[in-house]
Structure 1
Amino acid sequence: MKHWALAAGVVLALTVTAAPPALAGSTGSTGSDGSAGRVSHGVAPVSGAVYFRYGSGGIEVLTHRGGWTGGLTVGGGAFAGQFAVAPGGRKVAWIDGKNRLRVTSAPGSGTNRVTDKVIARNAAYGGPCLTPAWTADGRRIAYPVKGTAEAMTVAVVGADGRGRIDAGKTLGPCHLTWSADGRTLAGYAGDVDGVHLLDTRRRVSVRAPGIRLANHVESLSPDGRRVVVNAIGANAPGGDGSWPLSFTPSVYDTRTGAKVAVPVRGRLLGARYLGDGRLAVRVKGTSANTIVVLSRSGKEVQRVTEPARARNLGLLWVIG
């Protein structure tokens, strides 16, 4: 598997920081101009987003919803980058150098300090792409289990560390992502040769048709029927498996293998399915990026200008 990237073992340090100076002072709930964006009648609007960036201190997670909030800073040193942020941005699941899956939470619910809990001790560590994945309701986490087999075991555990189960084996354990119905996990192969779907009820994994090479899986539709990936050519570099700040999204039908058109103009920086089946597409802008929200039929239902200071941040979640 030529594209696997290994990082030196290191225990990650997590702290909560205030919003950095570069992000302070943004106004508006969804747009840098204070507007809520254009929304079609009867559609619940997008109300915010969760972002991240890489820095000398590791990975910083920040949320914008009616203004910037303080975020979680993850890592430092030889950080492997094996993290996933819960919907809403207040919890981070991460795998440390001792093969432990941890959940670190921002202050709240009666406490003014960071809380950290080890919830599993058998997680695979060392490959940046071997990230955990949160369910859409933030209650469960899937993660790759350490081992030597080519098909990796995926386990699912409650965010409180309870109810761990074996969900099956897959050849696609990289950048796992859930469908909102909680049934299907998608991930790409460590050698970037294909995307695989794991049915966690039947514990059966199959390769998604139509996708030859991919080095990132971003999102699944709620029913698992469509997947958003970064598809690459045969001569493209596979990358080191780290979570990308941006990518050119391709959408595929996971049953037929057909590529699905994304009817949005401009340079696309990513796309992510919302829990109700809408597709949020990120578009590059000169001073600020835009999130274009499409209905399940592909019709534009909302257009939101991001805060200007989010322009160079990676997008993890769209809240709406």
Structure 2
Amino acid sequence: MKHWAMAVGTAVAVSAVASPATASSQPAPVTGAVYSGYQLGGVEVLTHRGGWSRRSVGGGGFAGQFSAAPGGGKVAWIDSGNRLHVKTASADRVIAKDAAYGGPCSTPAWTADGRRIAYPVKGTAETTAVTVIGADGRNPVKAGRTMGVCHLTWSADGRTLAGYAGDTDGVHLLDTGSLVSRRAPGIKLANHVQSLSPDAGRVVVHTIGANAPGGDGSWPQSFTPSIYDTKTGRRLPIPVGGRLLGALYLRDGRLAVRVQGRPANTLVILDASGKEIQRLPEPVKARNLALLHVLG
């Protein structure tokens, strides 16, 4: 049974789930995170590092197609007129006018350095074209076509994009150098892609069963994470106890795992060997917000 997520156009044991090739031996500690929540027909992106800062986008025909930059200071979003915006504290600028509008899952995606944005292009073909453009609106480049246009995410090396198919039938990787897209092995049905390891060798996803609802494609408040090797299709264990609410890779290859708690959730940070190196309580206010980025 397939599921439609309103797009346009979840073991084999291994030693670790972090990315060994890029993990730092002396990483900076995690100091905060970027979150989001839906409200009044729009989205509020909130960054917490000592205190809170906010960016709100949407309104009108907004379908929830948004992505926060790694630091949370900028938000890319797509409006009902197929325009891609970049919202900052002082301005809301249109940087492209050919973005695909119409389903919450068709989101833009920021590179790890916050300099470029990938976005789905409007069209009627079975596969969706992706363009990469500077956050300033300059130098748009065609990045290829893919079935996996939903919840796009970049690898930190800036080469690979991953997303799930609009009908939830699999996760696809798009090599923006060769412009070739391929389906990730081992993943049958998925309705969320959260993160790629820096070299795109591993992907954090939410897999679903054959009879589970596909959802409407909105960014999930929380999800049960699974990690897959994108070459072998092996599902990798996450060595953290408790009820897991999500996971994502940091730019240096560490893995942040979100664990349910009361009165607040906790971020558990793992090194390349899968060893816990940090445990950081989230603010109580973040308990019911979606986790977008971890700052460290």
TM score, norm. by length of structure 2: 0.92
Alignment of 1:83 onto 2:66: yes
- Contact in 2 for aligned 1:195/1:211 (Cα 8 Å): yes
**How do residues 77-156 of structure 1 correspond to structure 2 at under 5 angstroms?**
77-106=60-89, 114-156=90-132
1:117 deviates by 1.3
Q: How does 1:297-308 map to 2 (within 5 A)?
A: 297-308=273-284
Q: Kindly indicate whether the alpha-carbon contact (under 8 Å) linking 2:7 and 2:105 is maintained by their aligned counterparts in 1.
A: no
Measured in 2, the distance between the counterparts of 1:43 and 1:97 equals 41
Determine what percentage of the aligned residue pairs are the same residue.
70
Instruction: Decide whether the 8 Å contact of 1:139 with 1:158 is kept in 2.
Output: yes
2:127 and 2:211 mapped to 1: Cα distance?
A: 25
Unaligned runs of 5+ in 2: 9-24
- Alignment-derived partner of residue 40 in structure 2: 56
Alpha-carbon distance in 1 for matches of 2:133, 2:61: 27
The 5 Å alignment of 1:167-316 reads 167-316=143-292
Matched AA of 2:37: R
Q: CA deviation at 1:128?
A: 0.8
Kindly provide the amino acid, as one letter, of the partner of residue 4 in structure 2. Answer: H
Aligned twin of 1:165: 141
The answer to which of 51-60 and 198-207 deviates more is 51-60
Checking the alignment, whether the CA contact within 8 Å between 1:184 and 1:200 is kept in structure 2 is: yes
User: In the alignment, which residue of structure 1 is the partner of 2:4?
Assistant: 3
State whether residues 188 and 196 of structure 1, in contact with CA within 8 Å, keep that contact through their aligned partners in structure 2.
yes
SS at 1:118's partner residue? strand
- DSSP-derived class of the 1:247 partner: coil
Q: Distance in 2 between matches of 1:47 and 1:104?
A: 24
Displacement of 1:72 in angstroms is 1.0
Where does structure 1 differ by over 4 angstroms across 4 or more consecutive aligned residues? none
Contact (CA 8 Å) 2:7, 2:166: kept in 1 or not? no
Aligned counterparts of 1:280 and 1:98: Cα–Cα separation in 2 = 36
- Of residues 93-102 and 187-196 in structure 1, the stretch that sits farther from structure 2 once superposed is 93-102
Q: List runs of 5+ in structure 1 lacking aligned partners.
A: 8-40, 107-113
Show the counterpart of 1:65: 49
Output the CA distance in 1 between the equivalents of 2:52 and 2:126: 42
Residues 7-52 of structure 1: CA distance to partner in whole angstroms, max 9, x if unpaired? Answer: 9xxxxxxxxxxxxxxxxxxxxxxxxxxxxxxxxx933100110111
What TM-score do the two structures reach when normalised by structure 1?
0.85
Provide the aligned length of Structure 1 versus Structure 2: 279
Deviation at 1:243, TM superposition (A): 0.5
CA–CA separation in structure 1 for the residues paired with 2:164 and 2:240: 25
Taking the aligned partners of 1:78 and 1:316, their CA distance within structure 2 comes to 23
Whole-angstrom distance in 1 between the partners of 2:258 and 2:26: 22
Q: Secondary structure at the match of 2:119?
A: strand
User: Residue 57 of structure 1: CA displacement?
Assistant: 4.7
SS at match of 1:309: helix
Aligned partner of 2:274: which letter? Answer: G
Is the 1:290–1:304 Cα contact (8 Å) retained in structure 2?
yes
Q: Map Cα deviations across residues 63-118 of structure 1 (whole Å, 9 max, x no partner).
A: 1101222x111223543000000011111101111111111111xxxxxxx21211
Is the 1:189–1:195 contact (alpha carbons within 8 Å) kept by the matching residues of 2? yes
| Greater Rg over alpha carbons, structure | 1
AA aligned to 2:242 is: G
Asked if the contact 1:57/1:74 (under 8 Å) is kept, the reply is: no
SS in 1 for 2:285: helix
Q: Deviations over 1:126-172 (max 9, x none)?
A: 01100000000000000000001111110000000111000001011
Letter matched to residue 73 of structure 1? S
The structure whose RCO (Cα within 8 Å, separation 6+) is larger is: 2
